[in-house]
Amino acid sequence: MATFTFPRQTAFYSGKVRDVYTIGTDTLVMIASDRISAFDVILPKPIPYKGQVLNQIAAYMLEATTSICPNWLTSVPAPNAAIGKLCNPFKIEMVVRGNLTGHSWRIYAAGGRILCGVQLPDGMKENDYFPSPIITPTTKASKGHDEDISKEEIIALGLVSKDEWEILAKYSLDLFGKGRSIANKRGLILADTKYEFGKIGNTIYLMDEIHTPDSSRYFYADGFEERQTTGDRQKQLSKEFVREWLIANDFMGKEGQTIPEMTEEWLQTISKRYIELYEKIIGEGFVPEPHSDEEVFELIVSQLKEM
């Protein structure tokens, strides 16, 4: 994906998946690339239509949650691009977990019973529901690995104030509840997700993407309880299957490890899984919108002129 220079552009940042452009002093342009990352490493080959999938799911979910809290998004000028408000970001991610899975399960299986200052119940199996959703925040690293951190440490370090934490926690749990409700109507379980927030003045805004396969983990609801009883693996729609493939091929982002070859067949498999989640969560067919870098640039510039 090309790097652009927009009128009135004042800054540029290339993240693991998104390229972010600051326009003037109050506007962001965020372009979702087809890059894919795992274990905080950008994998060497792009996934067809992944950027469009992420951008359109995020836009759908941001629109669906406007009654819960303000968010940054103002327009979607291109299939893989969004324009919105420039916020001063909090340097934490609010991770909400409804099920014992992924990172939390790896900690639990190793004997850990405290995660980010939260006490975990004994006697749980992988993918079991927590008695109620828990918040397990992380630091937000610009490079390298995010780190687990507790509410108490966040406040002590001044990353957010106590009052801000209460607002962030309420927003996060309410957003997760809404995400679960949407997923349930589509035959899915939202198992865990993460949210990012920032401020403009004294107002806290929801930022970035929400409830996408890059930021969330979904299980199929049909047969979930039966699989938990029999100990069978849960069917899921998320990026976890990419992580599992990497682990099976001896890669976890550690020094000296080599990323396994990504064949064309494997790239198409990943793409189909992303599209499947789009169709499940949105409830309608995915329409690929091939777009050149030039077309994306022109659509964004046209939208910026109207603002």
Please, what is the average pLDDT of the chain? Answer: 94
The residues near 251 (Cβ < 8 Å, ≥ 6 apart) are 39, 257, 258, 259, 260
Q: Encode pLDDT of 78-135 as tens digits.
A: 999 999 999 999 999 999 999 999 999 999 999 999 999 999 999 999 999 999 999 9
Judge whether residue 61 has pLDDT over 80. yes
Given pLDDT bands bounded at 50, 70 and 90, which one contains residue 191? very high
Cβ-contact 208, 90 below 8 angstroms = no
Give dist(CA 218, CA 130) in Å, integer: 15
The residues near 213 (Cβ < 8 Å, ≥ 6 apart) are 53, 54, 57, 237, 238, 239, 273, 274, 277
- Unique residue bearing structure tokens 């019973």: 113
Q: Encode pLDDT of 63-82 as tens digits.
A: 999 999 999 999 999 999 99
The predicted model gives 193-199 an average pLDDT of 98
Please report the domains of the chain, with CATH numbers, ordered by start residue: 9-88+267-306 (3.30.200.20), 91-238 (3.30.470.20)
Neighbours of 123 (CB within 10 A): 5
Give dist(CA 290, CA 307) in Å, integer: 26
Per-residue burial over 137-163, b if 16 or more Cβ lie within 10 Å, else e, is bbbbeeeeebebbebeebeeeebbeee
Per-residue burial over 222-254, b if 16 or more Cβ lie within 10 Å, else e, is eebeebbeeeeebebbbbbebbebbeeeebeee
pLDDT for res 144: 55
Judge whether residue 143 has pLDDT over 70. no
Structure tokens at 207: 């930022």
Q: What is the 3-state secondary structure (H, E, C) of the chain?
A: CCCCCCCCEEEEEECCCEEEEEECCCEEEEEECCCCEECCEECCCCCCCHHHHHHHHHHHHHHHCCCCCCECEEEEEECCEEEEECCEECCEEEEEEEECCCHHHHHHHCCCCEECCEECCCCCCCCCEEEEEEECCEECCCCCCCCECCHHHHHHCCCCCHHHHHHHHHHHHHHHHHHHHHHHHCCEEEEEEEEEEEEECCEEEEECCCCCCCCEEEEECCCHHHHHHHCCCCCEEECHHHHHHHHHCCCCCCCCCCCCCCCHHHHHHHHHHHHHHHHHHHCCCCCCCCCCHHHHHHHHHHHHHHC
Q: Encode pLDDT of 159-174 as tens digits.
A: 999 999 999 999 999 9
pLDDT for res 2: 85
Q: Encode pLDDT of 211-267 as tens digits.
A: 998 889 999 999 999 999 999 999 887 787 898 899 999 999 999 999 999 999 999
Q: CB-side exposure of 245: number of CA atoms within 13 Å?
A: 17
The distance of Cα 222 from the centroid of its chain, to the nearest Å, equals 24
